[in-house]
Amino acid sequence: MRTCSRNSLLTAAAATLLVSSGCKPVRIETPGADTEAAGKIRATLVSASSGGGETAAASTGTGWGTLKGRFVFAGTPGAPKALLADKDTEVCSKGGMKLLDRSLLVDGSTKGLANVVVFARKTSRVKEPPSSTPLVFDQKQCEFLAPVFAARVGQPIDVKNSDPIGHNTNISGSDFNQLIPAGGGTTYVPKAETGMPTMVTCNVHPWMKAYMVFRKDGYVAVSAADGSFAIPDLPAGEPLEFQVWHERSAGPNGALGLEKPDLKWTPKGRFTLTLAPDEVKDIGTLEVPASALGT
C-alpha cells in the first residue's frame, strides 16, 4: 500500500510538471500599442475627408526687420584632426598639405564660432521671390569650399568641380547624387525644404563632407568666420521662432541648446521673438559652452 501511494504521488507530480510547463494562454496585440485608442483614431481617419492642406501662419504685422547676432565659443577648441585622405593624393594633398576636420571652426582672435545655422521655422510672408541668379557650390582639392551651405528653395545652385579629377556630389535625403566631371559642373534647383541641415558627401572621396540647408522663405543664415550672422527682411510684427543648429551640438538632430532664459531658448535649440518694423534686432554675443557641443 505504502509503495503504491508513493508511486501514484510520483507520477502525479510528473504529470503536473508537464502540464504546467509552457501552457499560458497569451494573446497580445501589437505590443506597446493602445488598441482601443487606435480604434478611436481610426474612426476619425476614415471619417469624411477634410479640406486640410497646410495651414499658413496668420499674417499679423507689416514691414520688415532684421535679426543679427554673434556666436562665440566659450572653451578651448583642440587642434582640428587631419582627415584620412588616401585617394588621388596628387590632388587632394598637394604639396603635403593636410585636409583638416572642419566640424568646429573657431576664430583664433575673436573666438567666433563659424558655421552655426539660424533659420526661421515658420513665417507668414516673404519680401521677394527667390532670385534666379545661381549660387555657387564648388569643390577644390577634394574639399567642399563651403562646409555649411544655405540656399532658398527654387534658387538654382551651380554645383561645380574646380579639381582636375572627377567628383560626385551626393545630397542625402534629396534626389541629387550627380557625377561632377573634372572642371565641369551642373545646376541643381532644390525642390523641398530640408528641415535641419542635411549632409553632402562625395562617395569617391568619403572624407569630403558638407551640410546644406534649404528653406522655402530663405530666412536662413550661416554664421561667418567671426561667428556673426544676420537675417534681413524678416516679417515684422509677428512672433518668429528661430531654430539654431550646429554640426557638433549635442542636442537632438544637431539642435544647439543654450542657457538663454531671456530669449526662451529651448533644449531643442529654438528661441522666439517679435520684430518691430524696420527694427535691426541684435541679440548680442551668444556664448556657446563646450558642453553644448559634442567636443
Partner 1 sequence: MSTVTSPSTVHHEHAAAHAPHQASFLSTYVFSKDHKVIGLQFLFSTLVWFLIGGLLALAVRWQVAWPWSDVPVLGKLFAQEGGQMAPEFYTMLFTMHATVMIFLVIIPILAGAFGNFLIPLMIGADDMAFPTLNMLSYWFMWPAFIAFGASFFVEGGAASSGWTSYPTLSTNIASSPGSGWGQTLWLLGLTMVGVSSMLGSVNYMTTIILMRAPGMTMFRLPMTIWAMFITAILQAFALPVLTAAGFMQLADRTLGTGFFSPEGNIVNNWMQSTGGGQPLLWQHLFWFYSHPAVYIMILPAMGMVSDILTTFARKPLFGYRPMVYSVAGIAGLGFIVWGHHMFMSGMNPALGVTFMVSTMMIALPSAVKTFNWLGTVWGGRIQFTTAMLFALSFVSMFIIGGLSGIFMAATPVDIFIHDTYFIVAHFHYVLFAGTAMGVWAGIYYWFPKMFGRTMNEFWGKVHFFLTFLFMNGTFFTMHILGAVGFPRRLADAYHYETFHHLQPLNAFMTWCAIGMVASQAIFAVNFFWSMFFGPIAGRNPWNANTLEWTAPSPPGHGNFDFQPVVHRGPYEYSVPGVEKDHLMQTDPPNAAAAALAAAH
Partner 2 sequence: MKTITQRPFAGLFAVTFGLASLVGCGKTPPAYFRPNMVEATKQRLSAEQEKQVSTILLAMFGTPDEPVCLPETGLDEAKLRLAAGPVRSDVVGRKNGLYREHCAHCHGITGDALGPTAAFLNPYPRDYRPGVFKFKSTERADKPTHADLVKLLHNGVPGTSMPSFALLPAAQVEALVEYVKYLSMRGETELALMRAYFELDDDAQGKLPESREFLVDETLTPIAEKWKAAADARIQVPPMPADIDLVASIAKGKELFYGDKANCVKCHGVTGLGDGQANDYDDWNKAIVEIGKELASGSAKARETSTAGMSPEELAEHRAQLAWLEKFGKVLDGDALHPRTIPPRNLRMGVYRGGRRPLDLYYRIHAGINGAPMPAAKGTIPPEDIWHIVNYVRSLPYEFDGELGADRPMLVRDRF
User: Which residues are at the interface with partner 1 (CB under 8 A)?
Assistant: 3-4, 7, 10-11, 14, 22
Of 31 and 108, which CB lies nearer to partner 2 in the complex structure?
31
**For residues 228-247, which are near partner 2 according to CB under 8 A?**
241
Of 34 and 282, which CB lies nearer to partner 2 in the complex structure?
34
Of 206 and 277, which CB lies nearer to partner 2 in the complex structure?
206
Interface with partner 2, residue 249, by CB under 8 A: no
CB under 5 to 8 A by kind: which of partner 1, partner 2, none does 33 bind?
Answer: partner 2
H or E element: which one contains 6?
helix 2-20
Of 27 and 78, which CB lies nearer to partner 1 in the complex structure?
27
Interface with partner 2, residue 203, by CB under 8 A: yes
Burial of 252 (0-12, 13-18, 19+ CB in 10 A): exposed
User: Which one of residues 178, 198, 274, 285 is an interface residue with partner 2 (CB under 8 A)?
Assistant: 178
Of 26 and 48, which CB lies nearer to partner 1 in the complex structure?
26
**For residues 15-74, which are near partner 2 according to CB under 8 A?**
15-19, 21-23, 25-35, 37-42, 44-47, 49-50, 52-55
Provide φ and ψ at 187, rounded to 5°. -110, 135
| Torsion over CA: 165, 168, 169, 170 (sign) | negative
Interface with partner 2, residue 204, by CB under 8 A: yes
CA distance 159 to 11: 82
Q: What is the DSSP letter of 141?
A: S
CA distance 265 to 258: 6
Half-sphere exposure of 157 (CA within 13 A, CB side): 22
Q: What is the DSSP letter of 290?
A: G
